[in-house]
Structure 1
Amino acid sequence: MLNCEDIKVSVVVPVYNIKKYLPKNIESLIKQNINMEIIYVDDGSEDKSAEIIKKYMDSDPRIKLLQKENGGAGSARNFGLKNASGKYVLFIDGDDYIDENSLAALLKAAEAENLDIVQGSFRFVDDKGNNIIRKYKNGRENTGDCLDGSQWLVRKNIYFVMWLYLFRRDYLIDNNLWFCEDIYHEDLELIPRALYFAKRIKAIDLCFYNYVQRQGSFMHSRNIKKCTDLIKISDRFKVFANDNIDKQRHKDVYDFFENNSSYTYVYSLNSAIDQCVPLSELLEDKEVKNKIIFEISKSDKMRHKF
């Protein structure tokens, strides 16, 4: 058993009813050749996910299982972070997996340049492990110089997924960078804040994360709350900018949050359309309706015409 001070990376994995995908996830993590801990947070699963994890615990002491009542992915990740001991932390989803020994490369980059955040890149795969070829940017284009958070937000492509980044754990805690627990899309809400406060961020040329596309996952299911929570996130972008950024001195960074607030309003409407959610449900609140109309009038990102 490793002492806490020997643990280089804590991997935090929220788990909710994903027994089919857990073995591949676990096996990808136990193949990492660094001093680490693997923290699975069972968020009230009703299948046999916890039993699968316990079987692997018998053969690998790096695996830990925490169990709690269902509270959502943000709650599970926060619980894992509070119980983590590693110098760095990586959040991954329980139905995805990473390449063998990839954590060693992320860790090496982080320690070599004293980074707060290291970004890698990803690929889409199906649930059989086959690559899905898409015309998309995957993070590799961000490789280059080490930047601070303000520079990163205005110069780089931003990926609103926590699993693409290795974070220094103390950096997250010292800056009160916790997940919101009352919303969907918690990555979208946290990533800009997490990048903003960083002193040193760098992307390395390492495609390490396998993002599994599966039917029935959260991202492919219909839910009106996904749409309304986007509106909450949009409002939080504006509040964060007003509370933390001098608009006159750092107009480009302020505009980043302002623009993303506008785009997120439009995204909520697009999300409703894509899910075939009746717009009357999304727009029944008059204040919400007026906000969306106002933001659409400012935005050049709307995909749908009326």
Structure 2
Amino acid sequence: MINKEISVIVPVFNSGKWIERLIESVLAQNIGQETFEFILVNDKSTDNSIDILNSYQSKFPEIIKVIDKEINEGVAASRDDGLNLSEGKYIVFLDNDDYIDEDYLSTLYNTIENECLDLVISGYKLVDEQGKVVKVNQYHNTYGADYKNPCIWGSIHRSELIKRHNIHYRGRSGDDNAFVYQEFLYTDKIKYIDYIGYNWFENFTSLSRDGRPSIEKNIHDILYLLREGLKNNKTKNLRYDYFMIYSTLYYYHLLSRKATANDFSKFLKVVLLELDKLYPKWRKIPVPQDANLRNLFKTSLQIKGKMKISVVIPCYNVEKYVSRCIESVLKQNISKQDFEILAINDGSTDKTLQILRGYEEKYSHIRVINQMNKGLGETRNIGIENVESDYIAFLDSDDWIDQDYLKVLYSLAEEYSLDIVNSGFRRPKPNGEILFQSNLLDQESSFFTNGTAWGKLYRTQFLKEKQIRNRISAFGEDIIFNLDCFEAGAKFKTTEYIGYNWFINDESLTRSSRDEEKIVETCKIFYKALCETSAKINSYYIILYASATLFTANIGAKAFKELSKEMENISKERVTQKDYIKAIFTYDKGVAFKLKMGTLIYSLSTLTRITPLLGFLKISNKVKRK
């Protein structure tokens, strides 16, 4: 058999949807198929991955080798299995859901071969499911670049160095770092190149994301690698020490992206204390030129106390509006050290994530979480879990806030020791003209009638201690959220201040088009949750929300009739005839006139059992307005 120049190693797990794209990209390389061997390690996939691998092997037996493992051991062990079988002069690792440009192998091979190097590292493109480039990460061979934590893919490695020093993955959670740490220990023939030919697809079901270890386990692995690396640096290679330190910090931040802010801060202090003990001079080493590492290093040098405010922004397909939203937060007249922005991309299919990543790179107090679509309520819950600031402000991604918004609400919360500050809003047209604005009074009713999660400031400790989360995925989820806060004894105050701009976006998380059946179902879920609230909630507000739900639902007469009957059945145990009579004669300055009239009409119609007939009046009025 002819010796191959390159061994391409790919761990495969449940990648039936993506693996053909990767294989075809390797077979299409312009370096010539006689130059490389292709090792595919099936890590006990439960889908059709092994069938695809075997099919390709039968077509290209001289190039492709398939290892079919009997048990699932994870990405690190699978890469080690591929290494043990490899015969190439150089090693290239690829992930099973990524793919490479046709000149990828030739570019990396020519660089490492012609310049007699041991390791060549290139940049990458982050691509979405449609193949559109979301982000480009380009390396330059300058001071500080070699301290940046490289992924194992996007690079080419000399096999002789790896095998002579028994470098392998060890099966730890820091597999990429453990591997590259050791390469840096034994050679300085390393080069970063500005070529970009690796396409990284951020797949939430990939091998490397499956069963990610806890942050506690990650900490043990980080410290193990740090101690071993510094201890084994017998050559006193200062460059390697620097790499160890920067890579440790970078790796910690990378693994902690899904940790709560409290865990993040707590365990980062553990890592830094260990650095102080093992390498006391680390705080005096030169700061690298790489912008991301520079910000990271500065953050680690000055661990800040708790943020005052976290602005949580759920985002879904808002490429047209999200910059306006974020810019309004960045312009707040409080110190940027006092607040952070947590933007959560909820499975957007447009350029929203690309825009958010751009802000994240530019501003150190902006964090981005990317997730599959979960809906508005669950996305806000993820926001609560991932902040440890004093207060949380929810902001919808197509809205914006005035320059003094956070300062006004924060000052009130602190002055009166509040759990919630409730403020008003205005509704602007695209041309800037104000359609209407709320006029809230500092009364209990204003809290109930202004039931949105935005326009408020919540004390984080209160939400977490009382375990308050959005518990329904339906219309009115934020109303239930606020009622749960009230039931839990929240101390709140309503201010006449208006600094929130509510923009009606027909494509937003809360206003996406639904069919009538879906609307009726979500309204029923909401009303059932509403009626299950504590007796602490005045029945008047149950009736008020019932009328608002029924009269604003975008449904026809038949669906209206069905929904009104369902709502009446749901509320039997919660709302009595006396409550409806009382609601007719209730006058509350904190309730808007339209809501008062809707509550009165609904109460009368329920008592006289003609509510289902109102659906025809509603349709008739719609026709007249048209």
TM above 0.5, yes or no, is yes
What residue identity is the alignment partner of 1:107?
Y
Does the residue aligned with 2:59 lie in a helix, a strand or coil? Answer: coil
- Determine the structure 1 residue equivalent to 2:321: none
Taking only the aligned residue pairs, the percentage that are identical comes to: 25
Offset, 1:70: 1.0
- Determine the structure 2 residue equivalent to 1:148: none
The answer to whether the aligner puts 1:254 opposite 2:241 as a matched pair is: yes
Alignment match of 1:31 (pick from 21, 28, 31): 28
Question: For residues 138-180 of structure 1, what are the alpha-carbon distances to aligned partners after superposition, in whole Å with 9 as ceiling and x for unaligned?
Answer: 32x23x7xxxxxxx8x663523310121001111111121002
Q: Distance in 2 between matches of 1:19 and 1:301?
A: 46
Count, aligned residues: 280
What residue identity is the alignment partner of 1:13?
V
2:121–2:150: 8 Å Cα contact kept in structure 1? no
Q: Distance in 1 between matches of 2:49 and 2:302?
A: 40
Alignment match of 1:233 (pick from 210, 213, 221): 221
Offset, 1:106: 1.3
Alignment match of 1:291 (pick from 270, 280, 300): 270
Offset, 1:296: 11
Offset, 1:195: 2.4
Alignment match of 1:198 (pick from 182, 187, 212): 187
The answer to whether the aligner puts 1:59 opposite 2:48 as a matched pair is: no
Give 5+ residue unaligned stretches, structure 2.
277-282, 284-299, 308-387, 389-626
- Determine the structure 2 residue equivalent to 1:177: 167
- Determine the structure 2 residue equivalent to 1:149: none
Q: Distance in 1 between matches of 2:64 and 2:27?
A: 8
- Determine the structure 1 residue equivalent to 2:259: 272
Q: Distance in 2 between matches of 1:17 and 1:213?
A: 15
Q: Distance in 2 between matches of 1:200 and 1:250?
A: 13
Change in CA separation of 1:58 and 1:230 when aligned onto 2, cut-off 3 Å: same
Does the residue aligned with 2:116 lie in a helix, a strand or coil? Answer: coil
Offset, 1:37: 0.6
Offset, 1:119: 1.6
1:262–1:295: 8 Å Cα contact kept in structure 2? no
Q: Distance in 2 between matches of 1:193 and 1:301?
A: 29
Does the residue aligned with 1:156 lie in a helix, a strand or coil? Answer: helix
Q: Distance in 2 between matches of 1:209 and 1:119?
A: 11
Offset, 1:72: 0.7
Give 5+ residue unaligned stretches, structure 1.
145-151
Deviates more, 1:12-21 or 1:30-39: 30-39
Offset, 1:130: 1.1
Question: For residues 67-126 of structure 1, what are the alpha-carbon distances to aligned partners after superposition, in whole Å with 9 as ceiling and x for unaligned?
Answer: 112111010000000000111010110100001132112111121111111122210111
Question: For residues 269-306 of structure 1, what are the alpha-carbon distances to aligned partners after superposition, in whole Å with 9 as ceiling and x for unaligned?
Answer: 554227xxx959x98xxxx7983684699833769745
1:237–1:260: 8 Å Cα contact kept in structure 2? no
1:1-306 matched pairs, under 5 angstroms: 3-5=1-3, 7-32=4-29, 33-34=31-32, 35-61=35-61, 62-68=63-69, 69-132=71-134, 134=135, 137-139=137-139, 141-142=140-141, 156-181=146-171, 183-217=172-206, 223=212, 225-245=213-233, 250-251=237-238, 253-258=240-245, 260-261=247-248, 264=251, 270-273=257-260, 279=263, 291=270, 294=273, 299-300=300-301, 305=307
Deviates more, 1:118-127 or 1:21-30: 118-127
Q: Distance in 2 between matches of 1:175 and 1:156?
A: 21
CA RMSD after TM alignment: 3.2
Offset, 1:211: 0.2
Q: Distance in 1 between matches of 2:193 and 2:107?
A: 9
Offset, 1:204: 2.9
What residue identity is the alignment partner of 2:301?
D
The structure showing larger relative contact order (alpha-carbon pairs under 8 Å, at least 6 residues apart) is 1
